[in-house]
Structure 1
Amino acid sequence: MTVTVYGLDCGSTRKTKQWLEKIGVPFVERNILKEPLTVSELQGILRMTLDGTEGIVATRSKAYKDLDLDIDELSLQELMELIQQHPRLLRSPIIVDEKRLQAGYQEDEIRQFLPRKTRKTQWLNWSMNHLPLMES
């Protein structure tokens, strides 16, 4: 499983990379300012998101506000071309593997990128320390 971190040089991207390194999850990083996503890559990301463009566009970003956008007025093709020209419109980081996508750093959700065996081991360790013991 290859995890890819698409991001800007920001705190959330740094936290994501540190977390993945600490846990030992291999990843590939791509700075979207230096190498913007292609339309095809954006389409692939959009196929994975549950919230469509709202899940990946940073509507509170300075770039979004400066462009004075109304996403609903743009066609999907126009939006993808705009994102290529202004990569800061994307939330950062966007973390993907073959099956999952997460936009932004959220510590409780990033665990989905742990290998299943690791998640199971962590759950067992946590439950042994936090769940009450059953009395016979």
Structure 2
Amino acid sequence: MEMNIMIKIYTIPSNLPSRQAVRWLTQHDVAFAEQRVHVDQPELTIDELKQFLMASENGVDDLLSFQSLAYAAFIKNHDPEAMSLQALLTAMIANIRLLHFPIIYDEHLHILQTGFSQDDIRVFLPRSVRVQELTTMLLRESKSDDLSDIE
């Protein structure tokens, strides 16, 4: 029986957050498929970017890498606010470094995360695991409170 992997992570070479996200997903036994995106041959499509936008909380802002040199160079000649969505998405495909990597997308739950955050990536853990970890943490905390009451 083949397992249907719903989480896809888009990474670029030589990107620490991409490596950290892949490592975290692997260590937590989260099934995922990695798609390496090469700057000179981007395999992302405008349709994929549109899927990401539908799953994002902040629209294009979730996808753009505002801290990148590519973005700094881009805004010297372009005003993203004045561009049509189609033109901006086309520019993102043409200059993949405008995107904030890694891009982690759950195709089933339509959850999107860009970049790597130890806290935010936990959303990709199954709910049962998150509930169990919270219960364990609360039990540990209540035991330490009980011990401090003894002192």
Q: Normalization by structure 1: what TM-score?
A: 0.91
**CA–CA distance in 2 between the matches of 1:29 and 1:21?**
11
2:12 to 3, 8, 14: 8
Task: State the Cα distance separating 1:30 from its structure 2 match.
Answer: 1.1
Distance in 2 separating the partners of 1:32 and 1:74: 25
Which stretch has the larger CA shift, 64-73 or 8-17?
Answer: 64-73
Contact 2:102/2:116 (<8 A) preserved: yes
1:32 Cα deviation from its structure 2 partner: 2.2
Letter in 2 for 1:63: A
Contact 1:36/1:87 (8 A) holds in 2: no
Do residues 70 (structure 1) and 79 (structure 2) align?
yes
Q: Is the 8 A contact 2:102 2:115 kept in 1?
A: yes
Aligned to 1:102, the other structure's residue is in SS state strand
Is residue 46 of structure 2 the alignment partner of residue 39 of structure 1? yes
User: How many residues end up aligned between the 2 structures?
Assistant: 134
Instruction: Give the structure-2-normalised TM-score.
Output: 0.82
CA contact (8 A) 1:12 1:105 kept: yes
Give the letter aligned to residue 8 of structure 1.
Answer: I
In the alignment, structure 2 segments of 5+ residues that lack a partner are: none
Q: Does 1:114 align with 2:118?
A: no
Give the drift of 1:123: 1.0
- Structure 1 residue runs of 4 or more that deviate by more than 4 Å after TM superposition: none
